[in-house]
């Protein structure tokens, strides 16, 4: 005799309370780290799954498409599966998009989600990038080295060239655009369903106060030497002052 396990369904008030808690906790995380975005994705996916609501009801409530909800519900089921069926530690940077990239590499003819979830776990274990919490620093440097040329570059070209994960790369580019990370200036424009990026290096700005404070004494000393007769002028002093000015110029150009 088989037993059917009935899942409880959240009422509207319970769902609203939990959703508000997540909103207060994460807010807008677009410009934050991949780890924070991943935690947000995991939390909302777990809510959608545990709500017991249908795709249609969730799509209407969230103002999203059914396919968008479908992706998050699957991710939520995977989180529950990982915790209860095959206990594994969910990586801190496992976003819904990254999970989906693993899912799409599993056997599409397999009707049992749990079988495919086990395949996802294996792929996760093999992916070194999933266990690099500070990958964004390397990605930022690679982007600047290869694409900070003032030209327009497609997002997929950047991802392919630096061999990065799409979620990591887009998060780093967003941080560069909003906060000038990696001393960058980033512009974007639509390109079909994706984007193009133009990346430039920030020019170092030197305040007029710093210029006056550091250069004025050296220039004054050089002018004093210049007013001396040839017999009294000190070439070593001129060389020393010129060397100090050159060091300042080198420092400001770094």
Q: What is the pLDDT of residues 189-209, one digit of tens each?
A: 998 888 999 999 887 666 777
Half-sphere exposure of 80 (CA within 13 A, CB side): 16
Asked if 199 contacts 176 with a C-beta cutoff of 8 angstroms, the reply is yes
The pLDDT-based confidence of 32 (bands split at 50, 70, 90) is: low
Q: How many CB atoms lie within 10 A of CB 228?
A: 11
* pLDDT, average across residues 206-228: 83
Q: How many CB atoms lie within 10 A of CB 162?
A: 20
Cα–Cα distances (Å) from 142 to 111, 152, 166, in that order, read 40, 16, 14
Angle at 254 between CA 207 and CA 174, to 5 degrees: 85
Q: Give the chain's mean pLDDT.
A: 83
pTM: predicted TM-score of the whole model, two decimal places: 0.54
**What would the two tokens of residue 244 be?**
């100090």
Cα–Cα distances (Å) from 44 to 41, 219, 253, in that order, read 5, 63, 46
- What pLDDT shows up at residue 21? 92
Spell out where the chain has E strands. 152-154, 184-191, 194-201
């Amino acid at each position: 005799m088989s037993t059917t396990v009935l899942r409880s369904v959240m009422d509207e008030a319970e769902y609203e309370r939990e959703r508000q808690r997540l909103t207060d906790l994460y807010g807008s995380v677009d410009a934050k780290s991949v780890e924070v975005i991943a935690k947000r994705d995991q939390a909302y996916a777990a809510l959608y799954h545990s709500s017991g609501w249908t795709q249609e009801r969730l799509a209407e409530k969230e103002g999203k498409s059914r396919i968008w909800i479908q992706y998050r519900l699957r991710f939520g089921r995977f989180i529950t599966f990982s915790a209860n069926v095959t206990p594994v530690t969910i990586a801190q940077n496992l976003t819904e998009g990254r999970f989906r990239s693993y899912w799409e590499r599993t056997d599409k003819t397999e009707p049992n989600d749990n079988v495919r979830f086990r395949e996802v776990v294996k792929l996760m274990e093999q992916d070194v990038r999933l266990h690099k919490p500070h990958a964004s620093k390397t990605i930022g440097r690679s982007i600047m080295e290869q694409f900070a040329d003032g030209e327009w570059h497609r997002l997929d070209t950047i991802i392919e060239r630096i061999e990065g994960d799409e979620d990591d790369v887009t998060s780093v580019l967003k941080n560069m655009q909003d906060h000038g990370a990696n001393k960058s200036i980033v512009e974007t424009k639509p390109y079909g369903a994706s984007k193009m990026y133009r990346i430039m290096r920030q020019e170092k700005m030197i305040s007029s106060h710093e210029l006056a404070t550091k250069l004025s004494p050296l220039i004054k000393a050089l002018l004093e030497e210049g007013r001396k007769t040839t017999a009294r002028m000190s070439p070593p002093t001129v060389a020393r002052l010129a060397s100090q000015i050159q060091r300042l110029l080198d420092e400001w150009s770094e």
